[in-house]
Structure 1
Amino acid sequence: MQGSYCKISIAYLLFLIGVLCIFGYTPTNDGEGYIEYAQTCIAYGEPYPCYPTIMGKPFIWNIGQINLVALSLWAFKSLVPLLMLMCVLKALSAYLIARIAETLFTHKVGLTALLLYVFYPNNWGQSTTILSEIPAITMLLGSVLLVLRQHKVSLLIVAGLLMGLANWFRPVGLAFLGSVFLYYLFFDRSVLAKKFGSLLGGYVAFILIVGTSCYLRTGYFIYQSDTLWFNMAEATYETSVEPHYNSEMYPKGTIRYIENREQKTALECSDIWKERSIEWLKENKMNYLKKVPGRLVYMYMNDMDNIPAFLSDKSKSENNYITLPYRSLLSNIGTLTGMQWFGLLNMIYYVLLLTGFAVATVRLLLKREIRGMFLPVFITVGGSLALVLAVHGETRFKSPFMPFIFMMAAVCISQFLADRRKRKLTER
């Protein structure tokens, strides 16, 4: 049964490599920042974070991904090896999604989830970028699979290490760690201490290893990115739920502004923003919470972040996005460009995925089949809420939760087909 997963995943890998060869690297705003930081680290002769990327910088960014960029540039003077690795990890993610869905449900659900994933247009161009989502998601999925299938302490420690490694690339590890804790608490309580203790031990061990390594080099115990209070400071004065890409980054008269910021470290800035933000939150709890539903809607309103990979001109990262005239779509349908039609096709697919997720969740709840659905639903819903409580909800921020939406959409399709077969049998 796993042979079919492997064959499809390998075919998907070859397809992704083909997309990369034909359409090439896709610059992004964050990716350009990663390259800048990586080049600084290479020149300084140390991994990220190093002193020049701490002093005068506003925050600690995604550590694992910047170090991967630096490694590729240092060893090969090129991003191509890194992009090839992105293709491999993306295909591996597809395989892991199938294995997890099979473990939670059935082989048919696993196969359906895999097919939904590989045929989803927004997945095709992601591996042409150097963003942090692909490595983080792959490590998280690997960790979840080990949690579900393994009972040995040693392998659960490995799962914890993988979760810590994923967090090193993108700080969403706690959402997954908390979800697994509740899964053990509700469904495997007799071995909660053994299993979760092993997982947590691996997670903490990774933090201690990378944090101590960074401390010995820089004097700072840093083990993950730290952009929380940078984003929270903006939330104290932002006027809408979406990110403010083209606005002044440090406007005077706001919490975000720090005099002589360039002479402070990223950690000092974080501490200042933390103190200021907490004081503001004490007086404005409801004002802040009122934005959370809007942030959640904004994060899930579309899923086209990787469609620009297929643009004919991708030279300027700030122009690499696709928009659709949602409010006047019907009246402007005849004026859509080819890329907008591609984006619209992807959006229809995406809406069907969300619908499938919702339908499957409700049906499984009604049937009281809670165990299988718990991790996919809790990671998606709980993780999304935790994220928008902390930061504004960019549309690509939901990427770590999308694999579980594919799984639940596959459950919906499986249920639909099963119901259809039953009706045909009764009609006979």
Structure 2
Amino acid sequence: MRMYDIIVKKRDGGELTKQEIDYFIDGYTKGDIPDYQAAAFTMAIYFQGMTQAETATLTQAMVNSGETIDLSAIKGHKVDKHSTGGVGDKVTFIVGPLVASVGVPVAKMSGRGLGHTGGTLDKLEAIKDLKIEMEKEQFIKNVNEHKLAVAGQTGNLAPADKKLYALRDVIGTVDSLPLIAGSIMSKKLASGADSIVLDVKTGSGAFMKTLEDSESLAREMVNIGNSLGRNTVAVISDMNQPLGFEVGNANEIREAAEILQGKKVEDLRNLSLELASHMTVLAEIFASYEEAYETLEQNLENGKAFEAFRSFIEAQNGDLSMVDDLTNLPTSSHHIEVTADQDGYIAEIDAESIGVAAMYLGAGRSTKDDLINHGVGITLKKKIGDAIKAGETLVVLHSDDENPDSSIEKVKQAYIISNEKVEAPRLIHKVIK
């Protein structure tokens, strides 16, 4: 078998066999196939696409290229959640405890952020002493005893994907649907969950900007998961403005904890309940989505979800005083109000610009070596559809710099004010099974 023949076959629109795809992934991972041939191959995929069968085979080959996590020692049906990313997305800290509160195990491997806000692990580390690195035995023990653990990815998961993504990033083939879907799902499948719920974002703050593209990605990933033996559901949710009112690290933990204590932040609360309901139905704890939603909503009100959160934090050595008194979480030295220049209604908020403004403050990384400042961030005071008066506060910047001019400018660019009232965007666009 020659890589040249495989490239030509895909270039001409042919459907690749399992042997041909395995040959490429194995050879490229080992270094036997050079970058220039891998680049030609991914460019051929970019233009010709892949069938569902090809995409599933590619994903499984990437899973097989490295280690997989064996969670069989965890009792019960393990369900994982993955978000394609967004601004103010602190849903994991709500969904995990919610699902755990009804006895479904959530064993979550997460990463750090590179971009406008910190990743899941960065946000958790706003809680003093919380450990996100642990031995596998401790991780499994925590899930069995507390039904929830979140840890850094260990081992060599899907190394073919890591190598291939680095190549795609510099040759212009990142936004190939089968390659995106395969990349995401290879890591999820290698992480060992029995079922997967995907939160696929759409809008200005999402990787996929249009609903059509987001739906195509969601369907591709659901097809991969289901064809490879994992029940998979995708929820397409809106990211045309930040989720909730807080962007940053400590302040996102704070807002998530407040939701778990019963605070009504409508979009964040509703999306968390939506995702948690699908997860618990996949785990066969509830017979229907409606029954799941009702019970989980009760667990937000009666304190069970918050107790699951406390239990998870304590098991990972986190300082519970920061959870029990949220004012103990890190904060910044300056709190700067950015105000509106005119009367009207909030018509648009460019979520990505809000995220970049937070990164300028130190809430995210522009390079992988940047240090996260857990105490800085942004609190939104107005969202799409809200009325505003000139001089009224749009956002509060939490900064250690007295004059964060770049962030102020970015926030002002993000907000568009209209004379006409605008409806808030729909939160849940579609559910795909």
Task: Please report the TM-score for the alignment, with normalisation by the length of structure 1.
Answer: 0.31
Whichever structure has more helix as a proportion of its residues is 1
Whichever structure has more strand as a proportion of its residues is 2
Task: Please report the TM-score for the alignment, with normalisation by the length of structure 2.
Answer: 0.31
